[in-house]
Homo-oligomer: A and B are copies of this chain.
Amino acid sequence: MNPLTVGLIQQRCTPDRDANLEKSLSGIRRAAEGGARLAVLQELHPGLYFCQQEDPHCFDQAEPVPGPSTERLGALARELEIVIVASLFEKRTPGIYHNTAVVLEKDGSIAGRYRKMHIPDDPGYYEKFYFTPGDLGFTPIDTSVGRLGVLVCWDQWYPEAARLMALAGAEALIYPTAIGWDPHDGEEEKKRQLDAWMTIQRSHAIANGLPVISVNRVGFEEDPGGGPGALFWGHSFVAGCQGECLAEAGEEEEVFVAKIDRERTEAVRRIWPFLRDRRIDAYQDLTKRFRD
């Protein structure tokens, strides 16, 4: 079981949803050829990032879970005997749609799902229109490759989410992501944003003694509403339990694997015993909006 080889599939999307899914599937196949027993896809990988505008027609892209995409992904998981973390626009019922990560077990069954808990809403990222906030809590998903702390994109900015997954016994933190630059931003601001995105996720590795796997999309996607569009920055990466970068992609399409030493968590938590010293008697105000 040690090390665990993980595969990350960083891809560009087009309006052709079938082609996007095919690309995800072939990426998983390549990752498996590279030895991966766990494959992680980017957020909402079957399509363009439709949240650049608020358009009720986009709900047509939602699908049930289980549904057509989990069918295809499950069949490949079974064929390759690989665990897959997918990210789908889940239609739960008319009027309730979620941004959902689905974990396929290596026998093709659905091991579990995580519904994105923190929903952003910024210019070009109008997710509160589309995604009902998750109601499954911060609950890791048990699989044959371990207990996976699957979160999604905006969750990555919240130390609370990572901590709750760690406290529930997660053995890795996993973030399917869709994040990019406003092309109008200057180079310094772009650098700060990318660096902050990596730093906050590496900090979750450090605070919790856990590996972190983050997969982001690449490519420029136009805003159908005439806005500046989004230049998705890629840089998918794997960090070890001390926050050190084990592997990192560039800003083009890439399928790559990394080896995670599963014995590092306990070794690091013995020299950095942060969980031991949490002042749980003094944390009650973390459930407040503001302490005023």
Contacts and interface: CB of A to CB of B under 8 A. Distances in A.
Contact of A286 (B163, B199, B242, B292): B163
A261 to B, nearest CB: 13
A5 to B, nearest CB: 22
Contacts of A161: 279
Contacts of A284: 287
Contact of A291 (B121, B164, B206, B278): B164
A273 B282 CA distance: 25
Interface stretch (A7-15, A19-27, A104-112, A189-197): A189-197
A186 to B, nearest CB: 13
Contacts of A289: 167, 275, 278, 280
Tallying the copies of this chain within the complex gives 2
A279 B132 CA distance: 13
A271 interface: yes
A288 B281 CA distance: 9
Interface string A141-172: 00000000000001001111101100111000
Interface in A245-272: 271-272
Contacts of A279: 117-118, 133, 158, 160-161
B169 A286 contact: no
Interface of A: 117-122, 133, 137-138, 154, 157-161, 163-164, 167-169, 192-193, 195-196, 199-200, 202-203, 206-207, 242-244, 271-275, 277-292
24 contacts: A117-B282, A122-B271, A122-B273, A138-B282, A154-B277, A157-B206, A157-B207, A158-B274, A158-B279, A159-B159, A159-B207, A160-B163, A160-B278, A167-B289, A167-B291, A169-B292, A195-B244, A196-B243, A196-B244, A199-B202, A199-B206, A200-B203, A283-B287, A284-B287
